[in-house]
Amino acid sequence: MNLPSYLKSLEYVGIPLIKEGTGHLMVQAKANGEDITLIVDTGASRTSLAESSMERLRLVPGRIEQATALSLPRRTAALSTLYSLDIGSLSITNFEVWIVDFSYINMVLQIKGISCDGVLGADVLITRSAVIDYRGCKLYLKENRQNQR
C-alpha cells in the first residue's frame, strides 16, 4: 500500500502544497470564507495571520499576548478568533489565531513575486497529526470528527 492510500485509510485528508522558489511550502486555505495563502511552519507554535489581512478576513483583535515566535519584530501579538478555517476538505471552527505584523516576511517574499497571509502553525499540525510528504508535495491532516478544533 502506498502512503496516500494508507493515510486515507486512517482518515487523513491530503492537501496539495506549493513549493515556492524561496523553499517555503505553502497551502491554499479559506479563513472566514476568504481565500488565503499560508506558509506551513512546523516551528511556529500558533497559526498566525497578517495584520494587513485583518479587514478582509473580518478579524477583531482581542487581548495582547507575549509572542513566542523568534522571528517576530514585536514580541506581542493580538489574539483573534476565526469563525472558520478551511484547509482542503477540513473545516475548523471558532479557531484562535494570532494577528501579527507580516510586512517583513512579505517584503522578502515579494522579491520572488510571492505573498502570504500568515502561517499554518503547530497548533493545527499537532492536533491534526500532520504528515508532510515532501516528495509528493502534500500535507496530510487527520479528520477530527469529535472536535473541530
Residue 43: inside a domain: yes
Q: Which helix (H) or strand (E) holds 105?
A: helix 103-110
Q: Which CATH number is 136's domain given?
A: 2.40.70.10
Confidence of residue 149 (pLDDT cuts 50, 70, 90): very low
Phi, psi angle pair for 28, to nearest 5°? -90, 135
The whole model's pTM is what? 0.84
Number of structural domains (the chain) is 1
Residue 149: inside a domain: no
Q: Is the pLDDT of residue 138 over 50?
A: yes
Residue 16: inside a domain: yes
Who wins on pLDDT, 69 or 48? 48
Residue 148: inside a domain: no
**pLDDT score at 106:** 65
Confidence of residue 148 (pLDDT cuts 50, 70, 90): very low
CB atoms within 10 A of CB 103: 11
Mean pLDDT of 22-30: 91
Confidence of residue 115 (pLDDT cuts 50, 70, 90): confident
Q: Is the pLDDT of residue 142 over 80?
A: yes
Q: Which domain holds residue 60?
A: 3-142
Residue 147: inside a domain: no
Residue 90: inside a domain: yes
Residue 9: inside a domain: yes
Q: What is the pLDDT of residues 59-102, one digit of tens each?
A: 887 666 665 554 555 555 678 899 999 999 999 999 999 888 87
Residue 45: inside a domain: yes
